[in-house]
Structure 1
Amino acid sequence: MKKLAIILVGLLLLLSACGSNSSSDNSEGSKTVIVGTSSAEVPTWELVKKLAKEKGITLEIVKFDDYVQPNLALDSGEIDINAFQTVVYFDSFKKDRNLDLAAIGTTSIWPMGMYSKKIKEVSEFKDGDQVIIPKDPTNLGRALLLMQKAGLITLKEGFTGAGGLENVEKNPKNLKITPVDAGQTARGLDDAAASIINCDMAINAGLNPTKDPIFGEDASNKAYVNIIAAQTKRKDDKTLKQIADIYHTEEVTNFIKKHFNGAAIPVVEPISYLDDYKQN
């Protein structure tokens, strides 16, 4: 009986140790990090993965092709960080879904563009033409601001990007503005006069964001800086911060400039740089 008791205690200790190891995979100081990102950003993260390995960190990359699942996967703990979204979209999404997430690093700006297979200049729009735009709240507002910048519409005074089509005050050419899922905007090019497409979605569709847009935004607005996000409880995790630092190395910055040729513009700034983005 004594030997049996000793064996049972040993088994319990072994099981306890196994359980402890599995539950610590995502604890602070973990050397394995899972990042969720968009298809367009995978090449950059492959380089970050290589550089992280040199520092003893194993980086696993999970690809997403929509703007909803990466934040849900982060909140549930399926991934450790994600990097695909603007700070303004991130703040809006986590507020709407009541997610406890935090931005821990900056990455790049991906300027939004207006594309068309039917016209070559904004001046060629005809009365009643259809313009497709992304329908999620922040990208919809961003698209409307781009249309205003192009001289196609006038928005209500004080519009900062929050809100929908009700903010269009003047539409002199009676353009039919049609919001769709961001992932569907490129598909509308066959039917609509133009489509306003996020940079990564344009790349996924085989478009060249530096050459193909008939009109595009500049990269000056902090609200459209993309960020690295983590669960709030892990925002000070040393390994996650190390990943953000690797992203800002000269090797990664030069890669983004060369690989994307202006489609993505590196932002090598601390996350505090975005504290006042709502005022810009």
Structure 2
Amino acid sequence: MRNALKITTLFATGAVALSLAACGSDSSSGSSDPNAALTVVASPSPHAQILNYVKDNLAAKAGLKLDVKVVNDYVTPNTAVQDGSADANYFQHVPYLEDFNKKQGTSIVSVETVHLEPLGLYSKKVKAAADLKDGAQVAVPNDATNEGRALQLLAANKVITLKDGAGTTATLADITGNPKNLKFKELEAAQLPRALEDVDAAVINGNYALDSGLKPATDAILVEKAEGNPYANILAVKKGKESDPRVKKLAELLHSDEVKKYINDTFQGSVVPAF
């Protein structure tokens, strides 16, 4: 998921929603008929790419009809699942989903984790976090979800210490140990790659790193682990639809050895399996 919330214009979002609603009028969307196509709304990359791999290579053999709908905003996938015009979506992580449910009154749940777009610490001045000098300036995302995620990455690698109980919403105020006296600069997530020239290091979201030509697997001096990561992207459905046999079948395929190999071969560490 592109973790800095990206919402298209109301017109564009409405147009996509209307398109999905039209699809919902036939048997291929919002249906629990085991023989109907399962409609999944997804972000273009890597989500729709992964789903289309499943559709083209695995679904038919498994007896699953899959209809992949691509959208570019982060609201339509959840509203479409909630109103029944789509069966499932694949674009978000659990912290985003929980926040969306709370704010929008929706009842969407995670089925399975699939992949992670790793958050990483990047630098053009040092080759390891241990090489950061006393008082070095480190840029971090300024939005609540991603700042907490950035601080957790630094804490997991003993660059800083966070107070007990500081979770995914950790802030700079939760730092209890800072042995290198790092100076933190809070910036919008999209600005962080450009800030690399002006700071000693920056924690950058995977999608923005990729857009800037940075590869988490080879360029990051610290990178998130995938397994057990709360920011792993998920297959999600409206509560009560988890038992739909088509959803279960898709979940199994997304956790297959073939999909794991496809993710590893295609994305070369920029997207990693979380199963």
Match of 2:25 in 1: 22
Question: Which SS does the other structure have where 2:102 is aligned?
Answer: helix
Match of 2:39 in 1: 33
Q: Is the 8 A contact 1:94 1:100 kept in 2?
A: yes
Letter in 2 for 1:40: P
Give me the CA root mean square deviation. 3.1
TM value normalised by structure 1: 0.73
1:59 aligns with 2:72: no
1:177 aligns with 2:185: yes
Q: What is the aligned residue count?
A: 247
Offset of 1:215 from its aligned partner?
Answer: 1.5
1:46 aligns with 2:28: no
Counterparts in 2 of 1:189 and 1:70: CA distance versus 1, 3 Å = farther
Q: Deviations over 1:26-61 (max 9, x none)?
A: 221231413213523343222012133553514224
Offset of 1:132 from its aligned partner?
Answer: 2.8
Gaps in structure 2 of 5+ consecutive residues = 1-21
Q: Is the 8 A contact 1:140 1:164 kept in 2?
A: yes
CA distance, structure 2, for counterparts of residue 229 and residue 163 of structure 1: 25
Question: Which SS does the other structure have where 1:235 is aligned?
Answer: coil
Offset of 1:255 from its aligned partner?
Answer: 1.1
CA distance, structure 2, for counterparts of residue 206 and residue 232 of structure 1: 39
Q: Deviations over 1:128-171 (max 9, x none)?
A: 54433234433321210112234433222332333322212344
CA distance, structure 2, for counterparts of residue 136 and residue 263 of structure 1: 22
Larger radius of gyration: 1
Question: Which SS does the other structure have where 1:202 is aligned?
Answer: helix
Q: Is the 8 A contact 1:42 1:63 kept in 2?
A: no
More helix by share: 1
Q: Is the 8 A contact 1:40 1:203 kept in 2?
A: no
Letter in 2 for 1:229: A
Task: List, as ranges, runs of 4+ consecutive aligned residues in structure 1 with deviation greater than 4 Å.
Answer: 66-70, 76-79, 126-129
Counterparts in 2 of 1:118 and 1:94: CA distance versus 1, 3 Å = farther
Equivalent residue for 2:120, pick from 88, 92, 113: 113
Gaps in structure 1 of 5+ consecutive residues = 1-18, 269-280
Counterparts in 2 of 1:234 and 1:159: CA distance versus 1, 3 Å = same
Match of 1:276 in 2: none
